[in-house]
Amino acid sequence: MPHSLAQSTRTFTLSDFDFQLPVELIAQHPAPERSASRLLDGTGVSAQDLIFRDLPSLLLSGDLLVFNDTRVMNARLFGEKSTGGKLELLVERVLGGNQVAAHMRVSKKPEVGASVALIGAPGTHENLRATLLGRWPDANGPMFRFVLTNDAGDDPFTLMARHGHVPLPPYITHADSPEDAARYQTVFAKNPGAVAAPTAALHFDDGLLAAIDVLGVQRAFVTLHVGAGTFAPVKTENLAEHQMHSEWYDVPAATQQAISDCRARGGRLIAVGTTSVRTLESWAKTGQTTGDTNIFITPGFEFKVVDALVTNFHLPKSSLMMLVSAFAGYERVMALYRHAIEQRYRFFSYGDAMLLARQL
């Protein structure tokens, strides 16, 4: 039975995507240089241990790399209720009219209509506040709708840029620092709206991008505003019962043309990161070039666009483990993860990367 057919006929459960990861392999800081992280080439018969700046040796003239150009917002805001209770907001979406949708961490929820004082950047005094309007996106929604205000009437993007904190993932244990402000952002980040970085793209620096250009490899961009749900573990053993989070995406006309040109010349489309995969395959599946996607890619999914994938190493039981297993084959991915753990690769957002080919 062909490998892909075997995968599509097997029923996977949550436990299939679990693995034991030594805690010391969870990267707490980035590599000293972006392109000095490690790269596991998983495209051949046997795994090859490389450095990320070796990536051009695995590319061919005529290939197309598709990056996610979302920009991570300083989306974490801290505040204090009138009672003195502490509050933390993680802004997931800017809605217009100075309104935002945010996750709220607080011991006792404030009443609708209550205004909370937010902590401004050191040395600033501008009466920064958040007023609770209700839940979002509906009365039973998982997030909350707030109006953000200050004395100057600045918009939420400006307020977050000045007063917010880098929304580091839950497994990174230090408070955000200037290093995080620089390195938890891609060198080509452009469109603000993400609360998590498209981490596979963090390995690219200007020197590596220049080397790729010299090869005749093309570049194109999509936007997907990565949400906090990307870190949420799948909790239902039956994968069909999982409620996938929703994220906003856009595939610009120039990128659609670049993909068409790549196909015409017989090049490979290489997605940089699972967020690029989610964007491209959502577009292929629905025909919608922009909108919200809650696509949940599990083994058996039929990929229409992406030929190869640059990706970091993902959390056990996560939807991203399921995506890469669907893409490259479950057995292969689990074998590559075993190899990565044995060889002490660094995992998660600040960790190392691998290159995968789509199983045929």
What tokens were used for 62? 């005529």
Q: Which amino acid is at 132?
A: L
For 205, counting Cβ atoms within 10 Å of its Cβ (0-12 exposed, 13-18 middle, 19+ buried), the class is: middle
- pTM of the full structure: 0.94
pLDDT exceeds cutoff 80 at 8:
no
Helix/strand/coil percentages in the chain, nearest 5: 30, 25, 45
d(Cα 70, Cα 73) in Å, to the nearest integer?
A: 9
Residue-averaged pLDDT of the chain:
95
Residue range 91-101: mean pLDDT, rounded: 95
**265-272 mean pLDDT:** 98
**What pLDDT was estimated at residue 82?**
85
Torsion of Cα atoms, 279 then 243 then 245 then 163, to 10°: -170
Q: Mean pLDDT, to the nearest integer, of 44-60? A: 97
CA-CA-CA-CA torsion for 142, 283, 40, 349, nearest 10 degrees?
-30
For residue 1, is pLDDT > 50?
Answer: no
List the structure tokens of 354. 């691998």
- Provide mean pLDDT across the span 168-191: 96
Q: How confident is the model at residue 228 (pLDDT cuts 50, 70, 90)?
A: confident
Measured at the CA of 178, the angle between CA 177 and CA 180, to 5 degrees, comes to: 65
